[in-house]
Structure 1
């Protein structure tokens, strides 16, 4: 019997894997429903309603200005104080200041919005991968299943890497259809509750590459969770390490760096690199420094974090954690 197929079946039968996957997909469905409910397709009726709202606000502002100017004149006549002595300066804004487009309901512009919606997709897939990966190998260690398996297949490295391969294959089997469904579902929502105009081949290519990077991020998270649980030989090792990194290493470090006045403090935080990986580039700003322009305007210093920086960090992390897991698997006793 193939060890790889056996591990795939074992992964598919794990209740945590099923429930975690179902929960993550349910969250994505709820996000899609929220996008559908909170957006509208803009047509003549919406533009007419926006024009009426703009006109109503303009008239209301004009009446308020007239009342304030009259109150100011009465105050000057009676000799009482008013918040200004120049009554003629109390004027309502011009009609052009109340543009109808500001009163339009929210609409889903696929070109402008969909790229941002790939970030929560990647985050949910990454969370599924990390938790399922940690529990997949962690449960094997804590229940003694790994020891029994090694009696049947005594080649340690082959067993561990086969389990990792099965995990990543199973994650791909979920991530690829989920990503395709996310593209299709959001496209339909944009058709029904927004617009799909100005979509070009270049934009589609950018979205596809971003979706691919999201899948790679989920695979990296699954590998790290798998490696951490294998190092500690328990699921709690990976989950506890993740909580420690996020709470102590990220939130605590962020507060400490902020208090210390470190420039570009976000560059030391892991979420920054995850966002840079998805967005290709993130520009950090340091408002404590001032670069004066020829017009005298103060511009903050900037630092670009690119997807290349993120890829280097993720590669180092995977090599370190997975390498340590393989080394301990080879060196430590299986008891």
Structure 2
């Protein structure tokens, strides 16, 4: 049996892998079910009901305003008028206008595929990235902890080939799973939009944009899996990856607090989640509200910094490459005991 086939069987048959995949599927199903229940198809009946509700709200507010005005007029010349309606009835009492009661505010939530599916792609990527990190860390961490890695090296003494094959097999299966689930995910939300929303204004350009965003999501998933795998290999234990994750979160909080206290501009860019947001959304704008660049046409405009998906992608790729490279280097140099 080849090494790649043996690693594939080991990955697929692991109980932890099955549990994480099952848990991930349950989370995704819960998201789809929640979106289905939270939205509904909007047609002429719903629009007519929303317009009727908006008109009722306007008439009710108008009646209350007129009643308040009548009380104000009747109380003129008394201490009550100065107390409750200072400045006179016209200044103190709001007169509702029809355009302040937009019927669109009363329309039930509906899933617009063009606008809402982008958020669902990000949700899908984050959920699978978390699962990939855990599976990758456990896949190699359990081998080190149980002594299986030492036994494997007796059969295949080439260290880098063993670790590289294990990582390649894991990332290959992870990519396949992500692509298949991504296709199902897109199909489910297309079905949801047709039955509980709208698919209007869907053009080939919009689908292309969704596809590119999905590819960026796939990159995030693969990077998370490789990172979990490499960290667990470095520490030769699954807990190493989890510990680094917790420590990184605490360090991020500390760095953010220090940058704010030091008065640094654009402190958000020090937070790794912002990199992920910029990567998935193509850009993230950080605003320095303490600055003010006065313009005669636009008034006071604060300084801004735009993090693009290219910048975020390069930063994340460097981090992953360094950690994966370190795991390979230690595999080659350290004793296997």
1:149-168 correspondence runs (5 A) = 149-168=152-171
Q: In the TM superposition, what whole-angstrom CA distance separates every residue of 1:228-285 from its partner, at most 9, and x where no partner exists?
A: 1111000000011011112x12223223323333211111110111111111111111
Q: In the TM superposition, what whole-angstrom CA distance separates every residue of 1:66-93 from its partner, at most 9, and x where no partner exists?
A: 1221221122143432232321343422
Counterpart Cα distance in 1 of 2:44 and 2:94: 32
- 1:76 match: secondary structure: coil
- Is 1:183 equivalent to 2:178 in the alignment? no
- Is 1:308 equivalent to 2:314 in the alignment? no
Which runs of 5 or more structure 1 residues have no equivalent in the other structure?
A: none
Which residue pairs with 1:275 in the alignment? 277
- What's the CA shift for 1:213? 0.9
Which residue pairs with 2:174 in the alignment? 171
Which residue pairs with 2:104 in the alignment? 101
- Is 1:5 equivalent to 2:5 in the alignment? yes
Given that residues 66 and 91 in structure 1 are in contact (C-alpha distance below 8 angstroms), is that contact kept between their aligned partners in structure 2? Answer: no
Q: In the TM superposition, what whole-angstrom CA distance separates every residue of 1:188-208 from its partner, at most 9, and x where no partner exists?
A: 001101100101111100100
- Count of aligned pairs: 334
Superposition RMSD in Å? 1.2
Picking from 193, 197, 204, the partner of 2:196 is: 193
TM-score by length of 1: 0.97
Which residue pairs with 1:134 in the alignment? 137
Counterpart Cα distance in 2 of 1:41 and 1:27: 24
Which residue pairs with 1:48 in the alignment? 48
Counterpart Cα distance in 1 of 2:239 and 2:79: 76
Q: Classify 1:269/1:79 alpha carbon distance in 2 versus 1 (closer, same or farther; 3 Å).
A: closer
- Is 1:221 equivalent to 2:224 in the alignment? yes
Q: In the TM superposition, what whole-angstrom CA distance separates every residue of 1:208-235 from its partner, at most 9, and x where no partner exists?
A: 0101111111111111111111110000
Which runs of 5 or more structure 2 residues have no equivalent in the other structure?
A: none
- 1:171 match: secondary structure: helix
Given that residues 150 and 156 in structure 1 are in contact (C-alpha distance below 8 angstroms), is that contact kept between their aligned partners in structure 2? Answer: yes
Given that residues 65 and 96 in structure 2 are in contact (C-alpha distance below 8 angstroms), is that contact kept between their aligned partners in structure 1? Answer: no
Q: Classify 1:288/1:172 alpha carbon distance in 2 versus 1 (closer, same or farther; 3 Å).
A: same
Q: Classify 1:4/1:97 alpha carbon distance in 2 versus 1 (closer, same or farther; 3 Å).
A: same
- What's the CA shift for 1:322? 0.9
* Moved beyond 3 Å, runs of 4+: none
Which residue pairs with 1:143 in the alignment? 146
